Amino acid sequence: MSEDAAISPPETFQDNRGHKGPDRRCVGTGEICPKTQMVRFVKGPDNQLVPDIAGKLPGRGAWTLARRDALEAAIKTGGFKRGLKTNVTIGDDLMDQTAQLLRQKVLGLIPMALKAGQAYLGFDQVKSAARLEPLAWRIEASNGSEGGRGKIRVLTRAISAELGQKPTPVIGCFSSTELGQAFGRNDLIHAAIKYGPMRASFDHAALRLSGFEPLFPENWPDSAHERGKNYVGKRGDKG
């Protein structure tokens, strides 16, 4: 097993009962995949195409794989007109809007996990937990120090190796300010998600985001240590 962190392919993710979700066809690539790997779009006010990240907005929906290339293909080939069976206006900022909403989805799950007792915050909490139990996700501020990040990474890898599990993947695409604001504080550098009920939701949200941006900065000095043979920092781009 590689010592480097690897993120499981999204098709391996299942719900708490071990079931895969319903499938949908991507209007950009034609691929049929579980909804958890996709983004839904609906016709909003003034015929504007709107990303429906939660998949709950009313009306007919059209789906694309949660990847930039799939969304680009849907735009260029008229996939949304076919999928929605009506003309829609597609804003120039649709790609960025979708990526930002996916970021917000991931960020919003962290305080939810804390409220559910499924998260650790701060260096001391995360370090202590990493000595005792495997962690589902490490969360590191994009502007955090290499030293603190590395200490936690070493601990999580040690216990994962001891238990024969894959190394804990990391999300590092949020700044300390963004992480702090999610908890009503000035900043936050280190956090972690426990194995438990919140893990699957976080898996799905993180993998959808990875189709639009890397999950951690490529310019981290220790970025090579955060990679693995199966790591996908941005879905479709092998590290």
The secondary structure of residue 91, as a DSSP letter, is -
Q: Provide the phi-psi class of 214: left if phi over 0, else alpha when psi is between -120 and 50, else beta.
A: beta
Question: 137 - beta bridge partners?
Answer: 193
Task: Tell me the average pLDDT across 98-122.
Answer: 96
> Amino acid letter at 31?
E
pLDDT in tens, 191-230: 999 999 999 999 999 999 999 999 999 999 999 999 864 3
Statement: residue 236 has pLDDT above 90: no
The whole-angstrom separation of Cα 103 and Cα 146 is 23
What contacts 130, CB < 8 A, 6 or more positions away?
A: 152, 155, 156, 159, 192
Domains of the chain by start residue, with CATH: 23-94 (3.30.1230.10), 98-238 (3.30.1330.30)
Kindly give the pairing relationship between strand 170-171 and strand 135-140.
parallel
Does pLDDT of 11 surpass 50?
no
Cβ-contact 110, 119 below 8 angstroms:
yes
Mean pLDDT score across all residues of the chain: 88
